[in-house]
Structure 1
């Protein structure tokens, strides 16, 4: 481990905390003293660091009362200044501790808040007083760390009845054996006292093909700070039992966001910045967790209760795990490297691809929002850019649909989360030449995105749901009259969702699956419906999972659900649902070498095969990932 490079993670972390603080996610006046020149971070990063800050605060409030805190790898944390009800001992690399000491001593407010009246106690102990101690030491040297702690007055028995060990993204940079040894020695220092361990760190997904985990690990390797301890929930539980803790509870940030934070607090956060990266936020949350473990001579099962979930990861009843289905992954032209786009089949082996965020052309080297239309031949694996006569705006999260063999319909989309874009009808002149057509009437649904557009026959489309839709969630487009219509169904609560999927199973019968509620962006309560549009009858389908940002296809009386984000995180698999018996019957995991992220993708069903093109997103502060391969799955 390169200690200098690991120390830079402190600089990144405190800068991101300062960014979210200045946007009023939290109120921490001390952060500005450590980051005088704050660079604004993206809403996704601000949310991530808000959740990290909030989770640690919540754990300290609930499990560290009346105790002395030993903070491992504390960095520039502002805990010594904002919390007065704890005694605090901070330990970090000597270089980091020295920098923190310099900032504290050069600022009267920080110095007073830390009750600094004893500086430079020894070469390793930079501050020590009645409530605060700052130590410079390498956590890998557990013997030195424990020797230094042995002489600290704050840890004398008459001063300290309980100990809290705090680890905020620090021990993950140590080998598991090193951190286990450190924690074991710390427990041995306090054999007759209550010890609570609180950790906020990365947690490896139970899914073997979770691309987000792989991308995160590669990021830390690239910056020279590889994750040395990155393990699953089960291994974390077993690990702390072996170390000597009597009870260990884990709550991932998905559960923390949904169950711990109040509705009012989430509404406040949603109102701070415009946000439209739900997939990436949920993937981040599924890969970070709060762990609380306890060791006490007076231990009983009621000593620790963390509101964690006993649910297992995404399971689909007794569905068969299938790994022998014929699927391939093929590298494709750079012009197809995009996400939040849309695709459609328009006869033969051709697929049209439009919009999204990506490279745009084969020689491009910069990501951007796209407005180009690509004709992709699945047989030859070749791609050609089309010419469109007329203006068509760059957009993401639109819907591209073929009407007969003469028209393509581009529905909605957005250029930014505050700017939805109107639909466009394209007349096909030949395979690569199109012309923008005008509507014959003035009515058009309000622009939206993250909606679905589903063909019922050769000339009728239905549009369901979407973002920023306030009243009408259902609209009909008739190519014969070249006009939009709406009716009584438009206000139905069943259609009040976004990031769902909709597929026709008969001419006037569709199946709607998953999605997020248009009001609060939580998973919809009623996940799946079979809708007969002739009688306006809704039939709830049983045993359906909660999921969004997926695609679905109907074939041989089965519903195929590809990818998406579940309430457990990534769903990089193909699920087969039997419509007759209303149950999942098969799960296909994509264990492939390429890091394929099956969200923000788009797919088509052609000749008994599903083709998935593009997908990915902004992976927090770890970089942007865009799939560079198409996935081809042959159905039975």
Structure 2
């Protein structure tokens, strides 16, 4: 299932009032009220009738999850021959959902491999909490099966269905034939002493203890407990009781959890609302919103050592370049902002109660595998001596006011579009991907906004076609649209549309001209040139190719200096005197850059120069950029390496001085997601933000 993870408010006006004061109290109070409402909803949900409905919704996540996992496996992301046995039909999910489940499976595979490595050749136990239709035990190799007692635990209804499927599927029942069965009311356990299925509400610790003992779980053996997006559905007290039960029951154990963090930024708010809408809210995420609070929580509850890594770090630094290339080739994918956002909002966490040599080995291996890990030790709990990354305190909190821009009709949600100001009065928005009449698709409808009265006119009687991640400029009575794509891999040439007659004309169709998308361009008035730089030329290849065109869009053969920016896409280009200013972008290694380059367009050989800033610019891509007098303003963008999304950056193009501003995460009651948006300058202190966001998948559930 896909939803629009973008601005539910498609038009926002932002006013900049520079000061060192904190974000205005109105925004803060809205956030506080929203959190109070959420917490009150969670408290109400503890009542018995609500609890029953919530349990059913949580059980339902298993059915959606298994279909998504099978979709991912069938396309070749992950090798699991047994998952298919637990579904009756195949459903093809979107690329972003497939990737979400792929990284989830790789994270749990990492946990298993680490566990078997540190307990090499020893008899061990694995307890899979909220196991659903997970097939991990079936795909273990013979050596691991022989020294493992694997226990799947879930609600009785779920485990009964799983057992019934095992009994009728030959590929499954040839590996598992129960030799003992135990039952107590609706709860039950079956086992062959190597693999056990237990049907019980894990919050019922007394019954759970009894059933574990009946299948001969050994409290003294090293045990890995897996919580794959499970504990997060419980209220804090219930969740902490389960964690405490683990520590009371097992003498030597490692708890592995995979779940969500960062609920308060724009993406996080959409994520939290999504799960609440499904009836399975994330009940602990506001109490433990960060990696630091999560590891401290587990240490505080009794684990000797807790450590975690987010999935962006996991994907970028643990998985190899060859594996990245393999995944990129499986299906077309052009949603890197959503992918990196999703990964930054999930963690793989380990709570260890193990001998010191095991903890040391575990820590050293993770420290080698990842660029940074967050950890907490029991002996340092009160000393704040954990490896935690603080927020970027170099950012200033100014009084920046976001407000919904009033219009006479609903403005279409969209991203990957272009918005251009015509005659200082009309904003034409062309192309992109978005929502119209409840459907998600590439948009042909042109929307014309009258900024004087908020009136919107929709234009459909034209032949411009589908343009996503293109660029536009005005030339007399024409709007020139440069390149962009339809579906990923189907690239456009260039076209113009007459703003009076809507007549469309294609140009620059020569195959020698490198077609691209996610490029950037700008019109230099002083030299009467349009400069186009970079972009994607295929799904796995960006370029640093630079084109120079006349103001009517016709190509000018040009020469450029040998020194130039490296390959990148999703950068911004702005005109400044006789120069083009290139900012940000994402490099070929999928890392954002903070480089600022100047291109002098006044010479026969146009010269690139790297601009030196006096202060740190937060790297970003898919942002917007505007120049007011001698100041470059960068708004939003994506950077999954930072602890908060990039805000508003002010760069003095004379002195190089940099100031990074924090921006609010909400406008009224709506989350703000600032990437793949467009900005139009009203005046020297006011931007109009149009659209933005992305095509949101279901955060590892559906």
Under a length normalisation based on structure 2, what TM-score does the superposition of the two structures give?
0.80
Q: Is the 8 A contact 1:395 1:413 kept in 2?
A: yes
Q: Give the aligned partner of residue 199 of structure 2.
A: 136
Q: Give the aligned partner of residue 221 of structure 1.
A: 276
Seen in structure 2, the aligned counterparts of structure 1 residues 490 and 499 have a Cα distance that, compared at 3 Å, is farther
SS for the counterpart of 2:246 is helix
Q: Does 1:113 align with 2:175?
A: yes
Pick one of 248, 255, 278 that aligns with 2:313. 255
SS for the counterpart of 1:96 is helix
Q: Does 1:245 align with 2:303?
A: yes
Q: Does 1:290 align with 2:320?
A: no
Pick one of 155, 174, 199 that aligns with 2:218. 155
Q: Give the aligned partner of residue 615 of structure 1.
A: 692
Counterpart CA distance in 1 for 2:308 and 2:396 is 29
Pick one of 497, 507, 518 that aligns with 1:426. 497
Residues 203-352 of structure 1: pairs in structure 2 closer than 5 A: 203-205=261-263, 208=264, 210-230=265-285, 231-232=288-289, 233-298=291-356, 302-305=360-363, 306=366, 307=370, 308-309=372-373, 318-322=394-398, 324-332=399-407, 333-352=409-428
Q: Give the aligned partner of residue 550 of structure 1.
A: 623
Structure 1 unaligned residues grouped into runs of 5+: 624-636
Counterpart CA distance in 1 for 2:694 and 2:432 is 11
Q: Give the aligned partner of residue 380 of structure 1.
A: 453
Structure with more relative contact order (C-alpha pairs < 8 Å, separation 6 or more):
2
Pick one of 672, 675, 690 that aligns with 1:599. 675
Q: Give the aligned partner of residue 8 of structure 2.
A: none
Q: Give the aligned partner of residue 627 of structure 1.
A: none
Counterpart CA distance in 2 for 1:427 and 1:37 is 50
Q: Give the aligned partner of residue 69 of structure 1.
A: 126
1:557-612 CA-partner distances (Å, limit 9, x unpaired): 32211111112376263232344234334333344221232122111223222111
Counterpart CA distance in 2 for 1:164 and 1:196 is 5
Of the structure 1 ranges 234-243 and 253-262, higher mean CA displacement relative to structure 2 is found in 234-243
Residues 193-204 of structure 1: pairs in structure 2 closer than 5 A: 194-204=252-262
Q: Does 1:487 align with 2:558?
A: yes
Seen in structure 2, the aligned counterparts of structure 1 residues 239 and 133 have a Cα distance that, compared at 3 Å, is same
SS for the counterpart of 1:325 is strand
Seen in structure 2, the aligned counterparts of structure 1 residues 486 and 152 have a Cα distance that, compared at 3 Å, is farther
Under a length normalisation based on structure 1, what TM-score does the superposition of the two structures give?
0.88
Q: Is the 8 A contact 1:340 1:357 kept in 2?
A: yes
Q: Is the 8 A contact 2:258 2:349 kept in 1?
A: yes
Q: Give the aligned partner of residue 496 of structure 1.
A: 567
Seen in structure 2, the aligned counterparts of structure 1 residues 286 and 494 have a Cα distance that, compared at 3 Å, is same
Deviation at 1:439, TM superposition (A): 4.3
Q: Is the 8 A contact 2:235 2:283 kept in 1?
A: yes
Seen in structure 2, the aligned counterparts of structure 1 residues 224 and 282 have a Cα distance that, compared at 3 Å, is same
Counterpart CA distance in 2 for 1:498 and 1:253 is 23
Seen in structure 2, the aligned counterparts of structure 1 residues 302 and 556 have a Cα distance that, compared at 3 Å, is farther
Deviation at 1:369, TM superposition (A): 1.4
Seen in structure 2, the aligned counterparts of structure 1 residues 219 and 591 have a Cα distance that, compared at 3 Å, is closer
SS for the counterpart of 1:393 is coil
Q: Does 1:411 align with 2:488?
A: no
Counterpart CA distance in 2 for 1:171 and 1:528 is 44
Deviation at 1:384, TM superposition (A): 1.6
Q: Does 1:32 align with 2:91?
A: no
Structure 2 unaligned residues grouped into runs of 5+: 1-50, 375-386
Deviation at 1:235, TM superposition (A): 2.0
Q: Is the 8 A contact 2:529 2:551 kept in 1?
A: yes
Deviation at 1:425, TM superposition (A): 2.1
Q: Is the 8 A contact 1:131 1:154 kept in 2?
A: no
Q: Does 1:512 align with 2:569?
A: no
Q: Is the 8 A contact 2:219 2:249 kept in 1?
A: no
Seen in structure 2, the aligned counterparts of structure 1 residues 139 and 314 have a Cα distance that, compared at 3 Å, is same
Counterpart CA distance in 2 for 1:420 and 1:314 is 42
Seen in structure 2, the aligned counterparts of structure 1 residues 530 and 460 have a Cα distance that, compared at 3 Å, is closer
Q: Give the aligned partner of residue 44 of structure 1.
A: 96
Deviation at 1:531, TM superposition (A): 3.3
Deviation at 1:449, TM superposition (A): 1.1
Q: Give the aligned partner of residue 574 of structure 1.
A: 648
Counterpart CA distance in 1 for 2:460 and 2:200 is 63
Counterpart CA distance in 1 for 2:217 and 2:305 is 26
SS for the counterpart of 2:182 is coil
Task: Let me know the Cα RMSD of the aligned residues.
Answer: 2.7
Seen in structure 2, the aligned counterparts of structure 1 residues 501 and 221 have a Cα distance that, compared at 3 Å, is same
Q: Is the 8 A contact 1:281 1:620 kept in 2?
A: no
Q: Does 1:356 align with 2:426?
A: no
Q: Give the aligned partner of residue 536 of structure 1.
A: 607
Counterpart CA distance in 2 for 1:117 and 1:510 is 72
Counterpart CA distance in 1 for 2:68 and 2:84 is 11
In the alignment of these two chains, the number of paired residues is 601
Counterpart CA distance in 2 for 1:486 and 1:149 is 76
Counterpart CA distance in 2 for 1:139 and 1:490 is 66
Residues 80-91 of structure 1: pairs in structure 2 closer than 5 A: 80-84=137-141, 85=144, 86-91=148-153
Counterpart CA distance in 1 for 2:681 and 2:484 is 22
SS for the counterpart of 2:217 is helix
Deviation at 1:297, TM superposition (A): 4.7
Q: Is the 8 A contact 1:500 1:548 kept in 2?
A: yes
Counterpart CA distance in 2 for 1:490 and 1:16 is 49
Q: Is the 8 A contact 2:228 2:258 kept in 1?
A: yes
Q: Is the 8 A contact 2:531 2:580 kept in 1?
A: no
Q: Is the 8 A contact 1:473 1:495 kept in 2?
A: no
1:293-348 CA-partner distances (Å, limit 9, x unpaired): 211254686243233346977966633211x2343222543343222111112232
Seen in structure 2, the aligned counterparts of structure 1 residues 536 and 20 have a Cα distance that, compared at 3 Å, is same
Counterpart CA distance in 1 for 2:388 and 2:582 is 25
Q: Is the 8 A contact 2:564 2:608 kept in 1?
A: no
Deviation at 1:178, TM superposition (A): 0.8
Q: Is the 8 A contact 2:494 2:509 kept in 1?
A: no
Q: Give the aligned partner of residue 536 of structure 2.
A: 467
